[in-house]
Structure 1
Amino acid sequence: MKKRLIAAGLTALALAAGSPAQAAAGIHWGPVNSTNGRAQADVRITPFTAQTFVVYGKLRDRSPSHCAYIRARFHYTGGGTGWSRARTTCSATSFRLGSDGQVKRVDVKVCLYAARKTSRCYVEKITPEIIANWPQ
C-alpha cells in the first residue's frame, strides 16, 4: 500500500512538473504565507524519494516593521524529526533548507520576525499523499 502511495505521488509529481527533467529538479509547491500575508515564501521541493530532501525558493518580506522568517521540520522515514536552520530576510532572498536523510513529510513554517521573536506563523504540511491527490 505504501509503495503504491509513493508511486502515485511520483506520478503526480512528474505530471505536475511537466517533464522528466523538471520532475527530477523538483516541483513548484506554491506560495506559503504568514497568517497576515506579509511574509511570503515561494516554495519548491525535491521529490520525496531523494536521499536528501530540500525545500527551496524565494522568501519575501512585505512589511516595513517586520522581517520574514522560514524554517522546515522534517519527518524522517526511519522515525524522528529534525528542524532546518531558520532563514530570515527584511527584503527578499533565496533560501535552501535541506534534510539529513529521506523524509515522509515536511512542515514549512513562515512567520513575521521582529525583535528576535516570530509572530503570525503559518505551517504548511507537505506529504507525498497530498501531491498524489492533486488534480491531474
Structure 2
Amino acid sequence: MLHISHPYQHAASEIIEIHGARLRAWAADNPSDKFTDDEMRLFRSVALAYADPRRPSMRDLYGALCAMIDSDHRRSGSATQLPSASAFHRLVPSLPTEFVNQQRYGHRISPFEIIRSAEPILAAIEVA
C-alpha cells in the first residue's frame, strides 16, 4: 500500500500523468558529454528531490549528493564524478516550475498569492 506522508505529495504515476511530458523534456534538455548516463541519472534524482514538500535547499541537496558520492567511493572505490556546485545549481532551477510548485506547495503559486501572503507581515512591520 502506498503511504503518502504529506498532503501535497503525489504518487509517481500521478506525477507522470500530470507532469510527465515536461519532466521528460527537462531530462532531455540537460544532457552532458562530461558525465555518464548513470551519473546524470543520479544528479537528476537528487535535483528532483528539490520538489519535496519539506522544501530542501539547493545547498542541502548538493551536500547530500557530495556525501553520497563520497560514501560510495569509500565503500566501493567507484570513481563517480561530482558536478560543480554551480552546474548542480543550474540543473535544479531548470526543473518545470509547475511540477516544483505543486510538489512543494500543493498548488500553483501566483504572484498575487505571494503578495497577498506578505500583506499582513508588511502591515505589522511598517511604521505609520
Query: Please, what TM-score do these two structures have when normalized by structure 2?
Result: 0.27
> More strand by proportion, 1 or 2?
1
Larger Rg: 2
